[in-house]
Every structure is written in structure tokens, then in C-alpha cells.
Amino acid sequence: MMRTSRYPRMPLFPMFLRLQRRECLVVGAGDVAEGKIRGLLEAGARVCVVAPSATVAISQWASEKKLVWLRRKFRVRDISRKFLVVAATSSPELHERVWSAARRANVLCNVVDDPERCDLFYGAVVRRGALQIAVSTGGRSPALAQRIRKRLEKQFGVEYAGRVERLGRARSRLLISESNIERRKKIAHRMAREISMRRIRSLVAGFDRD
């Protein structure tokens, strides 16, 4: 029987969150949870995992004190003072408990494989240094999001990591050297259009000379 949400579907608001030092809870410690936890750790979140058992990787992270692992079943009070909670188990009943508790506590929640029980979604992400391109289908077709991600990976190669860093340095110098906002915007867009790394480097050097 398909469950329906009490909340009408609205367009998602795309954003990139800073999770550094934010308290995040993950209920479950299997293979799926492991991927969710890895992403939270990479973002600098303070992760607490609740599960009677865990994968080798999660157990290792706990022993290295990269996260806190509570080796027991979920309790509603585990959600207290958390910024975000992820439910990643094989139990729909437990997921419903986590979701309901998160709603009551006004805590953002993601329930794996249950779009109607999600305040946010993990996107399929292309990472090229500071450049991140995230694709989401709102939980409707993660497989399609992954296919689009693979296309984008080919379109935006690893060279974009260096390109973004050079553009960032050029923009910093531009903010100092050019006070006219409209002119500054035009120059910034011209720099972003540049394909040649040599040209971007010359622009940076030009700002240094000024």
C-alpha cells in the first residue's frame, strides 16, 4: 500500500548547506547509511549514529573518533538538539517513528527511499574542487539523476577545479581594483567565459600589477 503525505508537493528550494560542526543523527549503520555518513563527515558535520551493529567502515570511523556510535536501538530523545536526521534502515516502521519525531522537533529529516518522508534530498553531485553541480529529481528517479551526473562529469572535466580556483583569485583582485559594480560584473562574466587558462592567468597577473 502506497503511503501518501499530509503535505502538498511544492517545488524544492535548491541550496548548498554548511554543515561544519552541525549536530547530525543517522539512524542505521548498514551499507546505505555508510554512504550518507561519509557525505556528512566530508562536510564537517558532527555525526551521531544509532544502530545495534555497523559496517566495518562505520565501526572504524567510530574507533577513530570521527563520529559517535550508540550501539543500541533508536530512541525519540536521540533527535534532541540535532540539526538534521537521516533514517537509513530496512524498517518502514522505524522510519515512520524517526520521521514523526523529527517533525515534532522541527528537525530536518531524510528517510531513504521514501520521498514523502523527506525534507531534503541527497543530490547526485559532480565535484570539481570548489565547483559542485548537484542534480535532483525530488526522489522520483535517483537513477535518472545518476545518469545526468555521469554526463556532466564528462562535460566538466577535472581541469575545472583549477579553473575555478584561478577565477576565484581573479575575482578577489577584481573586487579590490574595480569599484564600479556594473563594470565589475561585466568583467567577471567575461572572465567566466574564458576557456584558456593562460588568459585567466594573465588577467590575475594584470590585477596584481594594478
The most confident of the ranges 110-114, 135-139, 177-181 is 110-114
Residues 58 and 110 in one domain: yes
Asked whether residue 133 is assigned to any structural domain, the reply reads yes
Does the pTM of the predicted model rise above 0.85?
Answer: no
Collapsing DSSP states into helix, strand and coil, what is residue 198?
Answer: helix
Asked whether residue 10 is assigned to any structural domain, the reply reads no
Average pLDDT over all residues of the chain = 88
Asked whether residue 43 is assigned to any structural domain, the reply reads yes
For the residues 69-93, what does the mean pLDDT come to? 97
Number of domains in the chain: 3
Looking at residue 192, its pLDDT comes to: 84
- Among 25, 98, 32, 28, which Cα is nearest to 67's? 25
Asked whether residue 8 is assigned to any structural domain, the reply reads no
Residues 93 and 29 in one domain: yes
For residue 114, what are the domain limits? 23-121
For the residues 128-139, what does the mean pLDDT come to? 90
Residues 52 and 132 in one domain: no
| Alpha-carbon torsion, ordered 72, 101, 23, 143, to 10 deg | 90
pLDDT at residue 159 tops 70 = yes
